[in-house]
Amino acid sequence: MALHHRWAFPLNLTFSPGRRNKARLSELAFPIESLKTCNDSRWSRIGPLVNNRFSPKENRGIRERVESAMSSKRRGSSDFRRASSGSSLRPTTSKVRSAIFSMLGPAGPSGFRVLDIYAGTGALGIEALQRGAESAVFVEQNSRQCNEIKKALERHGLAMQGTVQRGSALQAVGRLGGEFDLIFADPPYDLNEFEELFSRVDDAGLLAPNAIAFLEHSKTTRLPDTLPGLRLTAHRKYGDSAVSVYKVPNQDAPPGRGGK
């Protein structure tokens, strides 16, 4: 039996013959993006229909799957990422992260010293560590996010390799020391301060001889062919996002290997 409701989503329920409340979910799809949460009044329209056909335990399972699927759909949407920029949190999607690391080649970030600016959740820097990076410094202005990054590092057993610096990007980079082979910069889309940022990065001597920088920004933002100490080498678009790749000019060796 297929249960459909015009105010919500298609929920296909297949019942085993002769067993009233024993059912399996053959398909659970959520094409209507405007239904953001099961607390939405529209859930009350379909809720009773589901409740009449399932046991309480099955009802809870269905509701959890509904909430999880709709939450995931919203998190992956460009609308959510743009709205989140108001709190300076616009997580890089898994598709973009995967593309970034694939551009590093088969060895990935192995042995790299990583700088994750505008770190947010710290996902890029943490994934770099998981892929073999030597160390990572996370720069994030929001104190709550700094604490979340620290917890994530501990959870993944990476606390000894990661350092969190709280402060604005422009101020924090001036306090850093050493060189970095891999730099991530993913500010809110309405904040375009790349030139000033990398002027300070270059002045502080943070660029390793073979450094590479991945800058994520809105696809409508046009970045220059050169930034202080760096030259644009690639540009990729992913939905409403874009990634510009910069390298130290005249590189003869892969970043992080042979240049230390």
Residue recorded with tokens 């690391």: 101
> Could you tell me how far CA 239 lies from the centroid of its own chain?
14
The 3-state secondary structure of the chain reads CEECCCCCCCEEEEECCCCCCCEEEEEECCCCCCCCCCCCCCHHHHHHHHHCCCCHHHHHHHHHHHHHHHHHHHHCCHHHHHHHHHHCCCCCCHHHHHHHHHCCCCCCCCCCEEEEECCCCCHHHHHHHHCCCCEEEEEECCHHHHHHHHHHHHHCCCCCCEEEEECCHHHHHHHCCCCEEEEEECCCCCCCCHHHHHHHHHHCCCEEEEEEEEEEEECCCCCCCEECCEEEEEEEEECCEEEEEEECCCCCCCCCCCCC
Residue recorded with tokens 């892929």: 131
Q: Are 37 and 67 in contact (CB under 8 A)?
A: yes
> For position 90, what pLDDT does the model report?
60
Q: Is the pLDDT of residue 167 over 50?
A: yes
> For position 86, what pLDDT does the model report?
41
d(CA 37, CA 63) in angstroms, rounded, equals 10
pLDDT digits (tens, 9 = 90+) for 89-107: 567 788 889 999 999 999 9
> For position 56, what pLDDT does the model report?
61
Q: Is the pLDDT of residue 233 over 60?
A: yes
pLDDT digits (tens, 9 = 90+) for 132-154: 999 999 999 999 999 999 999 99
Q: Is the pLDDT of residue 236 over 70?
A: yes
In terms of Cα–Cα distance, which of 71, 83, 93, 57 is closest to 242? 93
> For position 153, what pLDDT does the model report?
98
pLDDT digits (tens, 9 = 90+) for 26-79: 334 434 333 444 444 444 555 555 455 556 656 566 565 655 544 444 444 333
> For position 64, what pLDDT does the model report?
59
Weakest-pLDDT range from 43-57, 95-109, 162-176, 232-246: 43-57
Q: Which domains does the chain have, with CATH numbers?
A: 2-75 (no CATH), 88-247 (3.40.50.150)
> For position 250, what pLDDT does the model report?
74
Return all residues near 5 (Cβ < 8 A) that are at least 6 apart: 11, 45, 46, 49
Q: Quick one: pLDDT band at residue 83, thresholds 50, 70, 90?
A: very low
